[in-house]
Amino acid sequence: MATPRADRPALAGRRILICRPEPEASRLARAFEVQGADVRCLPLLVREPLPETPEQRTLLLDLDRFSHVIVVSPYAAQRLLEALDTWWPQLPVGIRWYAVGAGTARVLTRQGLSVRRPAAGWTSEQLLALPSLQRIDGDRVLLARGQEGRELIRETLSARGAQVTTLPLYRRRCPDYPADVLAQRLGHFDPDAVVTLSGETLNNLIALCAKSGHNLYDKLLVVPAERVARAARDAGFRHTCVPAGLADPDIVSAVADCLQRGPDGAGTDK
């Protein structure tokens, strides 16, 4: 039997479908292509900035009245910094800044901010375990996020006595695709692995499969956390993979490892 060449790319010949938003989808696609994968992008979330309202403007102008600012995603961080640049040529001092994950932290630190984030992990649960968020009775907290999303951070900090104000900066929606595009991406392409890095993306994929009649439930599904993996399994997906990190190399490495181990191994989350 032929032995694979040592320099053969880890994902040579593998077909990967990426469902995350742009521009992240195309960036991740390039990382997969370096490892020899055949990649298609089918973003199942589109993010649209919300127009500034008088209420939003007031919150931005009152930034120095908050003790803590929590930012839930890199896109939320970008939108927040752009909005603040209009009103704060120099950001006020004395605020504790938080990022749910490393990608969000990088966006904030590029602006010279000192950012707190979980030492390991990228979930709301791990953020809420930070010591500086335990005793916050009476503290004012600004939560920068999308128009809709998980309420865990807001509800948990409110239960701890904080005054939590949500600052919605963008909305998310599922794009509409022509039937021929769906047939090509979900059917003819026949992916070995599908990358869905949020619970909302997973829900949109499930709805799309039901509506279009395509069955991806036997494919390797890459999800961001065990919470989303459980939801995927409950929906009928048999093989899930949680990467060790959400940086592009971590995702590519996890997919290569899971596909190499095959269906039996792929069903065990990392």
Are 166 and 222 part of one and the same domain?
no
Are 53 and 37 part of one and the same domain?
no
Domain boundary among 137, 172, 207: 172
**243 occurs within a structural domain:** yes
209 or 1, higher pLDDT: 209
Are 131 and 149 part of one and the same domain?
yes
Are 114 and 197 part of one and the same domain?
no
**100 occurs within a structural domain:** yes
How does pLDDT run across 136-171, given as a tens digit for each residue?
Answer: 999 999 999 998 878 999 999 999 999 999 999 999
**134 occurs within a structural domain:** yes
DSSP 131: G
**127 occurs within a structural domain:** yes
Apex CA 234: angle with CA 128 and CA 104, to 5°? 30
Instruction: Among 85-89, 103-107, 119-123, 165-169, name the one with the lowest average pLDDT.
Output: 119-123
How does pLDDT run across 99-114, given as a tens digit for each residue?
Answer: 998 889 999 999 999 9
Q: How confident is the model at residue 10 (pLDDT cuts 50, 70, 90)?
A: confident
**259 occurs within a structural domain:** yes
Domain boundary among 151, 172, 193: 172
**25 occurs within a structural domain:** yes
Q: What is the CATH number of the domain that holds 194?
A: 3.40.50.10090
**3 occurs within a structural domain:** no
Are 55 and 164 part of one and the same domain?
yes
Are 156 and 203 part of one and the same domain?
no
CA-CA-CA-CA dihedral for 237, 152, 78, 173, to nearest 10 = 50
Q: What is the per-residue pLDDT for 263?
A: 57
Output phi, psi for 221, to 5 deg.
-110, 120
* pLDDT above 70 (res 1): no
Domain boundary among 146, 172, 198: 172
Maximum distance among all Cα pairs of the chain, rounded to whole angstroms: 70
* pLDDT above 90 (res 245): no
Are 52 and 166 part of one and the same domain?
yes
Are 167 and 234 part of one and the same domain?
no
Task: Name 43's bridge partners.
Answer: none
Are 64 and 159 part of one and the same domain?
yes
Are 24 and 86 part of one and the same domain?
no
Q: How confident is the model at residue 186 (pLDDT cuts 50, 70, 90)?
A: confident
Q: How many domains does the chain have?
A: 2
Tell the burial category of 54 from Cβ atoms under 10 Å away from its Cβ (0-12, 13-18, 19+).
exposed
Of 92, 33, 82, 11, the residue nearest 257 (C-alpha) = 11
Are 76 and 182 part of one and the same domain?
no
**7 occurs within a structural domain:** no
Q: How confident is the model at residue 7 (pLDDT cuts 50, 70, 90)?
A: low
* pLDDT above 80 (res 5): no
Are 215 and 163 part of one and the same domain?
no
Structural domain containing residue 229: 15-45+175-266
Task: Quote the mean pLDDT of the chain.
Answer: 90
